[in-house]
Amino acid sequence: MASFESRRAEAVAQMIEKHGGRPLCAPTLREVRIEALTPELRAFYDALKAGEVDLVVLMTGVGTRMLHELYQEHLGADDLPKLLDRCTVVARGPKPTAVLRGWKLKPNIEVPEPNTWRELLDEVKATGELTGKRIAVQEYGMSRVELLDGLAEAGATVTRVPIYRWALPEDIEPIRAAITKIVAGEVDYALFFSATQVYHLMQVADEMGQREALVEAFGRVCVGSVGPVTSEAIIANGFQADYEPDAPHMPQLVGELARRGADLLQKKRIAAANGVNTNRWRRIDMDWSAEGVRAAGYTATTIDDSVFMKACRREPTPHVPVWLMRQAGRFQREYRELRSGYTMVEFCRASEVAAEVTLMAADRLGTDAAIIFQDILLPLESMGFDLDYVKGYGPKIANPLRERGDLERVKPGSAADMAYVDEAVRLTRKALRPDVALIGFVGAPFTVASYAIEGGKSRDFKHTKSLMLRDGEAWERFMGVLSDLLAGCLVSQVDAGADAVQVFDSWGGVLSPDRYEAFVLPYTKKIVDAVHAHRAGVPVIAFATGNPALVPLLKETGADVVGLDWRSDLREAIEQLGDDVAVQGNLDPTALYATPGQLRREVEALLAKVGDRPGYIFNLGHGISPDMDPVRVAELVDLVHELSARGETAWA
């Protein structure tokens, strides 16, 4: 593992060794402090003292501290903290904030990490109108020209405050040696912790006449980037980061590459062997052709090797398979970046992006199955419902169905209208590792109908239950048309490449067992039967939340797997269901907020309830919360694999 860190080179080497890697340290930076009080620094101090600075952007903690030291040394002035307190101060991340707190100051705005100049510019603009404002930017290493230009374009007068610069180390032989090893194919991983490290490495490569060869070699190396700014520098120099942690810190990058790096490296080298340009690629460009797999030195796998599919069939597995509902979601920074600029409907309709985010979750978490990214309410558009997603509220339907007469405007809909989902399935299945299963899904008829009738979320479902009880004929007509459409959507996803499918009944638990059996079960069963009739061997998962009393009825749908929410006791549910159906679930999602030790005990307790029964799939009892720490989610996946592993002996 090649690391180009300088200041903390030894610490990074120790991290790499702790995780079983062999460090190749090649420091690329030497910090050169500006020793003299330059005219720019003197002018900035005088402007602060005269009250002629409106806003100060502090980019680094080191630079903020150095600025104070320079004024102390050359002017005998100890009043920088006092002068800053008279301005609006924007701190880029926690390090300059920590320096300010040491001076008993608080920034007016702390820009959360990770960030680029874009987020920083947005935060400064959010302070108000910038026309005529006098803004000073404390710089480090090199100027961030895009930030300075963006502030100037917004009407501000911008002053640069350079504190220190980066230079190459006096001894560049370790860098030269690292370049030689990378080009020779003797390096598996390359870790970058700043943009300047990238630029300095390429500067030395230029001097050696090895830039082109180095960029080409990076196409077969797993490249880790600490954060967005570093990744931008990597892209600017002709190659690409394969992993960027959600939190831009050294331990996270090293630790997460230790857990996911082998799979990412394997994938990259297979792709390169199959002719994919791995220095400029998306996840959906992956090619798993057997020839490339063998050429890269790996053994080809197929869906027959999937532990998830084996568990669905109640066969022995080497460990308990795990996937998580909402495993692609707002808790991940990369998801938020991919989602940026799209409405929810646009995002789901953009097949390539939906496939990319589906693959992203499996890549980052290492789950045994991926679930296609879409939304359960999209089929309603095909039926003539006006669907929108309102920020802070959720899905809203402007023309809900409330009376029998409203059925006249309801169209039968067509699975063909959901072709964008099928295309996302095709793209994902092609690019997904062959032994990782892909799950397609639809909402269950009752849940989708509830949204269509209520017009959005509901606490009491009074409109839905009222129609169901007051006008049975209207209910049957609507549920019949809806279940036909949903069945067609699932069948299309299977044809597009889904290995298994799930039917989500998120609101089914608001009904008593009697009402569920009479008014809902026949329509969910129709969907399950349609999939089985269309393609034998495709597992169907039936999942409902809210009422453990419905568990036996979920089995009556004919599903191959019954998914449980956290309200059900896993051991009791298994006893109720018997040995002829697989079980999925059902950790309470809030357990992810617990301490690592408590989370481990929670997982151990669930696995103990399963015992040696084959046919168990680990999942949450519902989706991952948007504010969840991605590191905790990854820890959960690893815990399940670790605690259920039986070496070469099947978990059965």
Q: Which residues are catalytic?
A: 326, 330, 339, 375, 451
Under a CB-based contact definition with an 8 Å cutoff, are residues 345 and 415 in contact? no
Go through 335-371 and write b for each residue having 16 or more CB atoms within 10 A of its CB, e for each that does not: beebbeeeebbebbbbbebbbbbbbbbbbbbbbbbbb
| Rounded-to-10 torsion of CA 294, 297, 301, 305 | 150
The DSSP string of 457-524 is --SS-HHHHHHHHH-HHHHHHHHHHHHHHHHHHHHHHHHHT-SEEEEEETTGGGS-HHHHHHHTHHHH
Query: Residue 625: exposed, middle, or buried by beta-carbon count in 10 A (0-12, 13-18, 19+)?
Result: middle
Cα 53 from chain centroid?
40
DSSP 247: S
Q: Are 180 and 44 in contact (CB under 8 A)?
A: no
* DSSP state at residue 132: T
Dist. CA 452–CA 393, nearest whole Å: 16
The Cα diameter of the chain in Å comes to 88
C-alpha 448/C-alpha 403 separation (Å) is 17
Rounded to the nearest 10 degrees, how much is the dihedral formed by the CA atoms of 186, 187, 188, 190?
-170
Exposure string for 69-104, b = 16+ CB within 10 A, e = fewer: ebbeeeeeeeebeebbeebbbbbbbebbbebbeeee
623 contacts 504 by C-beta, under 8 angstroms? no
Buried (b) or exposed (e) across 445-464, using 16+ Cβ within 10 A?
Answer: bbbbbbbbbbbeebeebebb
Phi and psi of 394, rounded to 5°? 115, -160
In total, the chain counts a number of residues equal to 652
Burial profile 27-63: b = 16 or more Cβ within 10 angstroms, e = fewer: bbbeeeeeeeeeebbeebbeebeeeebbbbbbbbbbb
- Starting at the edge strand found earlier in the chain, the sheet holding 30-33 runs 30-33, 157-167, 134-141, 55-58, 88-92, 109-111
Sheet holding 561-563: strands in order across?
A: 369-371, 437-443, 500-505, 540-544, 561-563, 582-587, 616-620
Nearest to 444 by CA among 370, 503, 500: 503
Residue holding tokens 């954060």? 227
CA distance 456 to 467: 16
DSSP-assigned beta bridge partners for residue 190: 2, 223
CA distance 333 to 228: 11
Q: What does the alpha-carbon distance between residue 488 and residue 495 come to, in Å, rounded to a whole number?
A: 11
**Residue 421's closest CA among 343, 516, 370, 490?**
490
What are the phi and psi torsion angles at 503 (to 5°)?
A: -110, 115
Distances 11 to 165, 200, 244, 266, 491 between C-alpha atoms, Å:
23, 21, 19, 27, 53
Q: How far apart are CA 280 and CA 641, in angstroms?
A: 32
